[in-house]
């Protein structure tokens, strides 16, 4: 890839002159030069992390290329850098089959595991010495790239290993992925590469700072942000996520007769060198080749110790038999290659001190002990609270107040207390006594047989009431806009709201007088609350906080009655007969709907205007009036019959084929010829299942 940089500067200066004078005599020649310069600058910047020209100059070159291509569309090539720009929204990501399954890796944690692996490889290959290539294991989201005749033709996520989502357009926005690469010079006509899409630590923190400034919630970790980024519908947004792709493997390489070419590439280390030379960002900087497992282990440890300062998240190393011939001899299980193993780094840990324990009361009365620890930074996040789950957890770990403790981030998100450092326990250590009374209402706590949690069973317990209110208004339940957790806590404390029905009796003039409230926020609150009265009944069922009733069960339940109060007449048998309802859920529903105060609450809410009736009857009408629909591909949430029913109930029409009369084509997975045909008719709007459901307010 490296070219004489003198020449690059000379050519860049010439092209910038052309951009300034705006006279292009030979568009074909200039477009070609611009493309190769921009591709080179991209490679330098995104693969080698070197800046050769100022952003301003880069933009001028780019704009000139775009202008020439706009004026001469026949000059556009598929690998032009202008093709990286998003072209509209992706309505769905079709499922595609990988050329070869994307397997997982077996794990190892210590020298013994590595030795065993080495012995197995030697036995299966019949060799006495085996070369191993050891490289960093990036913690991101896997990707498979297919190049045909040098062109990137497909990018897919790992999915279930056999098939993944086609995310080609999104992958094209990742500048470290070349849109074309010269595999043909090696006689390779088709190749499938594997790699990991990551976000650098720096970029991740920068992005979170910006989000904080905009009042948006911070992203939890780089891995999930990368994997979410690959699946975003708007490729313009993908481009803002700072995604980078490290390619670590050639999965398949074939010549134009479909003959396998991998063996000719000799080894993992040679193929990484090759990919690097072809312009890919690879593990070249990180790999090394060894024969002895002791050396493999020290290399892994050396990486483990520099892990914190490394710009990308790595969670271990991958040890691979280097020669492809050996790999072939050693083979695969259905889950992982036998010729490779991951050496996992220890979970990230930190020391801190257990200062005190707070006992939180949940909406069902369950008491959760939460450790308040001296704030400590762990993998980029400051941790001061860690859940201790229940009394047994504290006993099993033999935790004492004032203990020095080890905190770990399991799955790198949720902090976890590994245990106390017993050797460092001092006389300050105080045994932890689980409270016998509710910290909120002082009722005695009880523990049911077979349960681990202590509970406060006082239905009027203020802490529970507050949590129930928070749950009632939350997104997954009544979804009341303008009314978050903090506002509920404040209103509860100031006795503006004592019980759920008070939400519908708010005195908005009084709220306007409160500090921090303005006309606009009060209006938002009022409209959020008013809107919630019209919610479908499943939201209310979730909001009531009936134990074991989440949104799936609530949606199912709401279909079986016209008014949810009818459940007060159902017996256990009738409830158990419903789909997916077992004896525990049935009993919980039965208890809820036979309790007088709960029924009183429902009456009160109904009187205040909260909807208790099944929506369909109210909503049949005109949402889709005069619009025609056709469904193609397989849907995730709807059956064909249900989809048809919904269209008709909302006043729309179903068509049986794609024609100019069609307004909407709803595409599911593996959509075929109907989609292709519809793409040729401009007036047809192509949408996915979720957008369709949104149209009808589902
Ligand atoms: S080799 C068949 N090498 O780790 C070969 N994987 O469970 C299998 N990963 O999701 C993968 N860095 O995407 C390999 N240098 C590396 C890797 C790597 C990250 C990921 C991979 C997969 C997981 C393996």
- Report the predicted TM-score, pTM, of the whole model to 2 decimal places: 0.60
Residue pair 683/629 in contact by the 8 Å Cβ criterion: no
Pocket test residue of 104, 197, 248, 285 for ligand 1, highest count of atoms within 8 A of CB:
248
Pocket test residue of 137, 245, 289, 331 for ligand 1, highest count of atoms within 8 A of CB:
137
* Residues making up the chain, counted from first to last: 698
Closest CA to 114 of 300, 324, 329: 300
Share of the chain above pLDDT 90, in %: 62
Angle (CA) 667 668 669, round 5°: 130
End-to-end Cα distance, the chain: 52
Distance CA 139, CA 314 (A): 5
Q: If one looks up domain 349-446 in CATH, what number appears?
A: 2.40.50.140
Sign of the dihedral through C-alpha 233, 236, 241, 245? positive
> Is pLDDT of 294 > 90?
yes
CA of 158 to the centre of ligand 1 (A): 11
Distance CA 478, CA 466 (A): 15
Q: Contacts by 587-593 with C-beta closer than 8 Å and gap 24+?
A: 588/546, 588/547, 588/548, 588/549, 589/546, 589/549, 589/557, 592/544, 592/546, 592/547, 593/567, 593/568
> Is pLDDT of 353 > 50?
yes
> What is the residue with the minimal CA distance to atom 12 of ligand 1?
137
- Overall CATH class of domain 5-83: mainly alpha
Sign of the dihedral through C-alpha 517, 518, 521, 523? positive
Mean pLDDT of 37-45: 90
> Is pLDDT of 620 > 90?
no
> Is pLDDT of 360 > 80?
yes
Q: What is the pLDDT of residue 589?
A: 95
Q: With bands split at pLDDT 50, 70 and 90, how would you rate the model's confidence at 619?
A: very low
Lowest mean pLDDT among 91-105, 417-431, 562-576: 91-105
> Is pLDDT of 412 > 80?
no
Residue pair 33/24 in contact by the 8 Å Cβ criterion: no
Give the atom of ligand 1 at the shortest distance from the alpha carbon of 196: 13
Mean pLDDT of 627-647: 83
Q: What is the pLDDT of residue 238?
A: 83
Lowest mean pLDDT among 83-87, 115-119, 583-587: 83-87
Q: Would you state the CATH architecture of domain 462-607? A: Orthogonal Bundle (1.10)
Give the atom of ligand 1 at the shortest distance from the alpha carbon of 251: 2
CA of 339 to the centre of ligand 1 (A): 13
Q: What is the pLDDT of residue 616?
A: 59
Task: List pocket residues of ligand 1, CB cut-off 6 Å.
Answer: 103-105, 135, 137-138, 142, 196, 248-249, 283, 318, 337, 340
> Is pLDDT of 579 > 80?
no
> What is the residue with the minimal CA distance to atom 2 of ligand 1?
103
CA of 105 to the centre of ligand 1 (A): 7
Helix (H, G, I), strand (E, B) or coil at 155: strand
Better-predicted residue by pLDDT, 217 or 384: 384
CA of 125 to the centre of ligand 1 (A): 22
- Residue numbers annotated as active site: 137
> What is the residue with the minimal CA distance to atom 23 of ligand 1?
104
> Is pLDDT of 680 > 90?
no
Domain parsing of the chain, residue ranges: 5-83, 106-344, 349-446, 462-607, 628-695
* Average pLDDT in the chain: 90
Q: What is the pLDDT of residues 215-266, one digit of tens each?
A: 777 787 788 889 989 988 887 788 889 999 999 999 999 999 999 999 999 9
CA of 669 to the centre of ligand 1 (A): 27
Mean pLDDT of 496-519: 95
Q: What is the pLDDT of residue 91?
A: 66
Sheet-wide strand order for 314-321: 107-108, 340-344, 314-321, 132-138, 288-290
Residue pair 290/299 in contact by the 8 Å Cβ criterion: yes
Topology adopted by domain 106-344: D-amino Acid Aminotransferase; Chain A, domain 1 (3.30.470)
Neighbouring C-alpha atoms within 13 Å toward the C-beta of 489:
3
Question: Phi/psi of residue 645, each to 5°?
Answer: -60, -45
Share of the chain above pLDDT 70, in %: 97
Q: With bands split at pLDDT 50, 70 and 90, how would you rate the model's confidence at 86?
A: low
CA of 136 to the centre of ligand 1 (A): 9
Superfamily of domain 628-695: BRCT domain (3.40.50.10190)
Pocket test residue of 135, 283, 307, 318 for ligand 1, highest count of atoms within 8 A of CB:
318
Tell me the angle at which helices 583-593 and 596-607 cross, rounded to the nearest 10 degrees: 70
Q: What is the pLDDT of residues 533-565, one digit of tens each?
A: 999 999 999 999 998 898 878 988 998 888 999
Helix (H, G, I), strand (E, B) or coil at 357: strand
């Amino acid at each position: 890839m490296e070219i004489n940089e003198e020449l690059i500067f000379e050519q860049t200066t010439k092209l910038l002159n052309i951009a300034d004078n705006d006279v292009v005599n030979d568009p074909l020649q200039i477009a070609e030069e611009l493309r190769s310069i921009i591709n080179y600058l991209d490679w330098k910047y995104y693969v080698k992390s070197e800046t050769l020209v100022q952003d301003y100059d880069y933009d001028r070159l780019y704009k000139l290329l775009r202008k020439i291509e706009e004026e001469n569309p026949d000059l556009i090539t598929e690998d032009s850098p202008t093709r990286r720009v998003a072209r509209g929204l992706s309505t769905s990501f079709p499922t595609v089959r990988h050329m070869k399954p994307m397997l997982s890796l077996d794990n190892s944690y210590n020298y013994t595991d590595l030795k065993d692996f080495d012995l197995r490889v030697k036995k299966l290959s019949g060799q006495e010495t085996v070369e191993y290539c050891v490289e960093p294991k990036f913690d991101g989201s896997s990707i498979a790239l297919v190049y045909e005749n040098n062109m990137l033709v497909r990018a897919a996520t790992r999915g279930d290993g056999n098939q993944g989502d086609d995310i080609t357009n999104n992958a094209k926005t990742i500048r470290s992925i070349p849109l074309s690469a010269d595999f043909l010079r090696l006689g390779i006509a088709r190749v499938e590469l594997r790699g990991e899409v990551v976000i650098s630590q720096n970029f991740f923190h920068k992005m979170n700072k910006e989000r904080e400034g905009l009042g948006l919630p911070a992203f939890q970790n780089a891995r999930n942000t990368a994997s979410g980024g690959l699946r975003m519908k708007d490729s313009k947004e993908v481009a803002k996520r700072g995604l980078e792709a490290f390619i670590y493997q050639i999965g398949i390489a074939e010549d134009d007769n479909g003959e396998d070419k991998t063996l000719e590439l000799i080894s993992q280390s040679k193929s990484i060198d090759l990919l690097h030379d072809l312009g890919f960002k690879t593990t070249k900087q990180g790999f090394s080749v060894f024969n002895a497992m002791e050396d493999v282990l020290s290399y892994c440890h050396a990486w483990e110790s520099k892990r914190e300062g490394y710009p990308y998240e790595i969670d271990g190393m991958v040890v691979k038999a280097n020669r492809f011939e050996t790999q072939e001899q050693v083979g695969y299980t259905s889950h992982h290659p036998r010729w490779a193993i991951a050496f996992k780094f220890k979970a990230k840990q930190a020391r801190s001190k257990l200062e005190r324990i707070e006992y939180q009361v949940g909406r069902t009365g369950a008491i959760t002990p939460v450790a308040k620890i001296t704030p400590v930074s762990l993998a980029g996040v400051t941790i001061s609270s860690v859940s201790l789950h229940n009394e047994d957890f504290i006993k099993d770990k033999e935790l004492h107040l004032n203990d020095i403790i080890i905190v770990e981030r399991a799955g790198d998100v949720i902090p976890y207390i590994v245990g106390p450092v017993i050797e460092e326990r001092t006389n300050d250590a105080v045994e932890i006594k689980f409270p016998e009374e509710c910290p909120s209402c002082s009722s005695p706590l009880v523990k049911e047989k077979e349960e681990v949690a202590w509970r406060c069973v006082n239905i009027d317990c203020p802490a529970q009431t507050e949590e129930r209110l928070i749950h009632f208004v939350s997104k997954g339940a009544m979804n009341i806009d303008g009314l978050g957790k903090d506002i509920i806590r404040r209103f509860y404390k100031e006795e503006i709201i004592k019980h759920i029905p008070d939400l519908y009796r708010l005195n908005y003039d009084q709220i306007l007088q409160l500090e921090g409230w303005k006309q606009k926020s009060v209006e938002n609150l009022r409209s959020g609350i008013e809107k919630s009265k019209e919610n479908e009944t499943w939201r209310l069922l979730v909001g009531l906080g009936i134990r074991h009733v989440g949104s799936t069960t609530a949606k199912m339940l709401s279909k079986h009655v016209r008014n949810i109060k009818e459940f007060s007449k159902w017996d256990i048998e009738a409830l158990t007969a419903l789909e997916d309802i077992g004896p525990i859920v049935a009993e919980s529903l039965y208890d809820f709907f036979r309790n007088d105060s709960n029924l009183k609450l429902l009456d009160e809410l109904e009187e205040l205007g909260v909807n208790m009736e099944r929506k369909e009857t109210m909503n049949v009408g005109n949402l889709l009036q005069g619009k025609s629909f056709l469904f193609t591909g397989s849907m995730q949430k709807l059956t064909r019959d249900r989809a048809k029913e919904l269209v008709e109930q909302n006043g729309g029409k179903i068509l049986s084929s794609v024609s100019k009369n069609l307004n909407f084509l709803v595409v599911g997975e593996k959509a075929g010829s109907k989609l292709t045909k519809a793409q040729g008719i401009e007036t047809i709007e192509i949408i996915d299942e979720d957008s369709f459901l949104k149209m009808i307010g589902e």
